[in-house]
Structure 1
Amino acid sequence: MADPRDCVLTVNAGSSSIKFGLFEAGAAPAARMTGLVERIGDGPRIKAEDGDGASLVKRDLTAAEGADHVSALATVLALLRERFPAARVIGVGHRVVHGGVAYDRPIRVGAAEMAELERLSPFAPLHQPHNLAGVRAAAATFPDAPQIACFDTAFHRAHPFVNDAFALPREYYDKGVRRYGFHGLSYDYVAGELARVAPHLHAGRVVVAHLGNGASMCGLLGGRSVASTMGFSALDGLPMGTRCGQLDPGVLLYLMQQEGMGADEISDLLYRRSGLLGLSGLSNDMRELLAARTDAARQAVDYFVFRIRRELGALAAALGGLDALVFCGGIGENAHEIRARVCDGMGWIGLELDEGANAENARVISAEFSRVRVLRIPTNEEIVIARAAVALIGGEARAAAE
Structure 2
Amino acid sequence: MQEILVLNSGSSSVKFALYRVDDDALPLAYSGHFSGLATSQCAVSLTRWTQDTNNDALPTAYHYDAQALASQGLRPAMTHEDAVLMLMSWFDQREEKGTLAAIGHRVVHGGQTYHEAVRLTADDVAVLERFSSLAPLHQPHGLAPIKLLMKQMPDVPQIACFDTAFHAHQPQQARQFALPRELTAKGLIRYGFHGLSYDYIQRTLSSVLPDGASRARVIVAHLGNGASMCAIRDGISVASTMGFTALEGLPMGTRSGALDPGLVLHLISHEEMSVEDVSTLLYKRSGLLGVSGISSDMRELLASDAPEAQEAIELYCYRAAREIASLAGALGGLDQLVFTAGIGEHAAPVRARIVAQCEWLGMQLDPQANGHHAECISLPDSRVGVWVIPTDEERVIASDCLALLKEAD
TM-score, normalising length: structure 2: 0.93
Counterpart selection for 2:287 from 251, 256, 275: 275
Whether contact under 8 Å (1:65, 1:72) holds in the other structure is: no
What CA distance in whole angstroms lies between the structure 2 residues aligned with 1:122 and 1:367? 44
What CA distance in whole angstroms lies between the structure 1 residues aligned with 2:108 and 2:341? 16
1:337 aligns with 2:325: no
What CA distance in whole angstroms lies between the structure 1 residues aligned with 2:88 and 2:189? 37
What CA distance in whole angstroms lies between the structure 2 residues aligned with 1:345 and 1:176? 36
Map Cα deviations across residues 88-115 of structure 1 (whole Å, 9 max, x no partner): 2110000000000121100011011111
What CA distance in whole angstroms lies between the structure 2 residues aligned with 1:258 and 1:75? 48
What does residue 41 of structure 1 align with? Answer: 38
What CA distance in whole angstroms lies between the structure 1 residues aligned with 2:186 and 2:212? 39
Whether contact under 8 Å (1:202, 1:223) holds in the other structure is: no
Shift of 1:268: 1.1
What does residue 54 of structure 2 align with? Answer: none
Which 4+ runs in 1 deviate beyond 3 A? 82-85, 199-203
1:19 aligns with 2:15: yes
SS of the equivalent of 1:92 reads: strand
What CA distance in whole angstroms lies between the structure 1 residues aligned with 2:75 and 2:164? 33
Map Cα deviations across residues 350-376 of structure 1 (whole Å, 9 max, x no partner): 000011111111111100110000010
Whether contact under 8 Å (2:119, 2:160) holds in the other structure is: yes
Shift of 1:220: 0.5
Shift of 1:65: 4.9
Q: 1:277 to 1:82 in 2, by over 3 A?
A: farther
What CA distance in whole angstroms lies between the structure 1 residues aligned with 2:366 and 2:305? 27
What does residue 400 of structure 1 align with? Answer: none
Whether contact under 8 Å (1:66, 1:72) holds in the other structure is: no
Superposition pairs for residues 2-401 of structure 1, below 5 Å? Answer: 5-26=1-22, 27-42=24-39, 43-51=41-49, 52-61=57-66, 62=70, 64-83=75-94, 86-198=97-209, 201=213, 203-397=215-409
What CA distance in whole angstroms lies between the structure 1 residues aligned with 2:255 and 2:212? 35
Map Cα deviations across residues 289-347 of structure 1 (whole Å, 9 max, x no partner): 00011111111111110110000110011100000000000000011111111111432
Q: 1:101 to 1:75 in 2, by over 3 A?
A: same
SS of the equivalent of 1:54 reads: strand
SS of the equivalent of 2:246 reads: coil
Identity %: 46
Whether contact under 8 Å (1:191, 1:202) holds in the other structure is: no
What CA distance in whole angstroms lies between the structure 2 residues aligned with 1:276 and 1:353? 25
SS of the equivalent of 1:163 reads: helix
CA RMSD across the alignment: 1.4
What CA distance in whole angstroms lies between the structure 2 residues aligned with 1:53 and 1:349? 41
Larger displacement relative to structure 2 (70-79 or 274-283): 70-79
Aligned length: 393
Q: 1:392 to 1:234 in 2, by over 3 A?
A: same
What CA distance in whole angstroms lies between the structure 2 residues aligned with 1:206 and 1:308? 15
Give unmatched runs, 5+ long, in structure 2: 50-56
Whether contact under 8 Å (1:66, 1:75) holds in the other structure is: no
TM-score, normalising length: structure 1: 0.95
Give unmatched runs, 5+ long, in structure 1: 398-402
